[in-house]
Chains A and B, each alone.
Chain A
Amino acid sequence: MLPIVIVSLLLSVTSAFAETPKRIISLAPNVTEILFALGLDNSVVGVTSFCDYPERAKDKPKVGGMSNPSLERVVSLKPDIVIMTTDGNPKVFAERLQSFRIQTYVFGARTLSELPQGIRALGLALGMREKADLLAREIESSLNNLSRSSFHASRKEKVLFIIWPEPLIVAGPGTAIDDAIGILGHHNIAAKSRSSYPKYSIEETILQSPDIIFIGKGHADIRDLSKGLLKKLSWVPAVKNHRVFFVSDNLYRLGPRVIYGIEEMAACLK
């Protein structure tokens, strides 16, 4: 019941801006990336400590983490609008902000297919309809091209995308990575897990024998860290046939960079 009330509360205050707000705070790294891609560099006055892309985002004032942003910090930055996501920001935070008469907007897209529409809606709310539409269309056409070229993929292969090798954490359902694997015409073996980033069983990985393994690059030296796991998986076709690929973290966030992430994966599979 409560979430519904909050959502309707949110909807009631997210009327479109007539002109672009001058002071924007982003409470999620993917939103920050979208705002920068829309050319709002100078309007963004606050970001989370996770917002590290593009490089210029690091210089923006930090308002705390995604799950624990500082209310005081946000209020003191006098934002015209605070942009949140349904994925990682606490709902009560929006309520607190409203009690300070600070306008909020919730970025609702959670999957790759929802991203262009999400960007359009955000653009509408920020009074940047045309620019947002352009970005959305760019993403849509790239997605279409990618799925069209993979339509002729010789066969559907089994893929596993590893986020962290020890303990084994992989990309499950409801992630941009899972969508990307589908767009490339393949099957994510972790698609039936109960959570988006499940702690995955190594045994199960061997039994499901993925043909292709992607390992996302984190900050740490992931190649060294993966050695132990890959040794345990030496029986898996992907490892036997040298089809283990290290890819960037472009797909970790639902923002404009996902296209590069999918292109990178497609390039590995060529």
Chain B
Amino acid sequence: MSKIKLAALFCAALFVMLLSLFLGSHVINPFQASDVEREILISIRLPRVIVAVLMGMALGASGAVLQGILKNPLADPYILGISSGAALSATLGLLSGVYIFGKFSIPLTAFIGASFISIVVGFFGWKEGKLLPERLLLAGVGLSFLLYAMLMFLISISSHEGIRRAVLWIFGDLSIADWSMIPYGIVFIIAGLYISVSRAKALNALMLGDEIAHSLGFAVHKERLLFFLSISLMTSASVSLGGTIGFIGLLIPHMVRFIMGADNRFVVPLSALYGGVFLCIADLIGRSLLPPMEIPSGIITALVGSPYFLYLLRKRDVLTA
């Protein structure tokens, strides 16, 4: 991978992010913005674009790492039940009316739920001092079903008005993006990203199999645990920022691999970068398509992303990619 190509990709990503700041149902010219427009840019669009980028980065990178450590192309950060855990605890929070933390209540309850479920999944995936990929995956799937059923149970029996809010939130909702949440999001997501990107070589080795990774000098189980930690951090933070947004964690890493090859030193950071870009675009479409209404970004990511993914699947052979 040449440095120029990487730089070009990076600039293109930055350009799209900037563009999504100025475009929308109302296009704002940054050089001739009125006071109201400046206000919209600074207190509404900018935090929203930052949250979209952060969430997209977290999901893209987590997906890439998870597919690596589980050696399973179907893995996505939500398969571990983290999102269901977050959705369930946030819904419980909304229904019980826990507003002790003010506007942080929902992000906080979501984060607590996500982290708690990560620990539970880790506990089930743990045996004899090792984190076993298959057990982790199955524990995640099993827990997801349980949590999802509990969530549906709550929704079906509740007559609380918070339910509609919970459902919107579960679909992914970036309209609540606010400056005050961003510092926390940045801390967790950058920490997770740093762990993943700095250990990308280990991830390459893990994908070759435990024996080979071991003979290459990597402490297989310690690495896997660290990756799991980084995914939990990033996914929990992402879900708490704006709900559960599908597609990105599963398909962006594959798209990056189709185009860039399978070296995780590039796949992980580029999945993060393009996860961010993609969610920015999805959110831009969601808030511009039917003004003054907004469409939840989670719906757009799948509607726009899946056809492109299927096109790539036909055009390039995934199995040899």
Contacts and interface: CB of A to CB of B under 8 A. Distances in A.
Interface of A: 48-50, 65, 68, 164, 166-169, 190, 192-195, 198-209, 218-221, 224-225, 227-228, 231-232, 234-235
Nearest to A51: B159
A234 B35 CA distance: 12
Interface string B280-295: 0000000100111110
B173 A227 contact: no
Nearest to B293: A198
B315 to A, nearest CB: 36
Contacts of A201: 25, 175, 287, 291-294
Nearest to A220: B97
B45 interface: yes
Interface in B166-223: 168-169, 173, 175-176, 178, 180
Contact of A219 (B36, B161, B296): B161
Contacts of A68: 156
Interface string B132-162: 0000000000000000000000001001111
A167 B169 contact: yes
Nearest 8 Cβ contacts at the A-B interface: A204-B292, A49-B159, A198-B293, A50-B159, A166-B176, A228-B103, A235-B39, A201-B292
B22 to A, nearest CB: 12
Q: Which interface residue of A167, A168, A190, A192 has the most chain B CB atoms within 10 A?
A: A167
11 contacts: A65-B159, A166-B175, A200-B293, A201-B287, A206-B36, A206-B44, A207-B40, A219-B97, A224-B99, A227-B102, A232-B178
B162 A166 contact: no
A227 B101 CA distance: 13
A168 B175 contact: yes
Nearest to A252: B161
B98 to A, nearest CB: 10
Q: Which interface residue of B97, B291, B293 has the most chain A CB atoms within 10 A?
A: B293
A232 B26 CA distance: 17
A239 B33 CA distance: 22
Contacts of B168: 167, 199
A203 B160 contact: no
A209 B44 CA distance: 15
Nearest to B38: A235
Nearest to B102: A224
Contacts of A50: 159
B24 interface: yes
Interface residues of B, number: 35
B165 interface: yes
B193 to A, nearest CB: 27
B164 interface: yes
Nearest to B106: A166
A218 B102 CA distance: 16
B29 interface: no
Contacts of B306: none
A202 B293 contact: no
Contacts of A166: 103, 165, 175-176
B175 A202 contact: yes
Contacts of B175: 166-168, 199, 201-202
Nearest to B176: A166
Nearest to A197: B164
A220 B36 contact: no
B44 A203 contact: yes
A167 B170 CA distance: 12
Q: Which interface residue of B164, B165, B290 has the most chain A CB atoms within 10 A?
A: B165
Q: Which interface residue of B36, B39, B290, B292 has the most chain A CB atoms within 10 A?
A: B292
A68 B40 CA distance: 41
A203 B294 CA distance: 11
Given A166-B103, A193-B292, A207 B161 contact: no
A164 B43 contact: no
Contact of A195 (B159, B165, B293): B293
Contacts of A232: 43-44, 178
A198 B295 CA distance: 10
Given A199-B175, A206-B44, A232-B43, A194 B159 contact: no
Contacts of A198: 292-293
A202 B169 contact: no
A193 to B, nearest CB: 6
Given A167-B168, A201-B292, A204-B25, A219 B40 contact: no
Given A168-B175, A194-B290, A219 B160 contact: yes
Contacts of A167: 165, 168-169, 173, 175-176, 294
Contacts of B97: 219-221
B99 A221 contact: yes
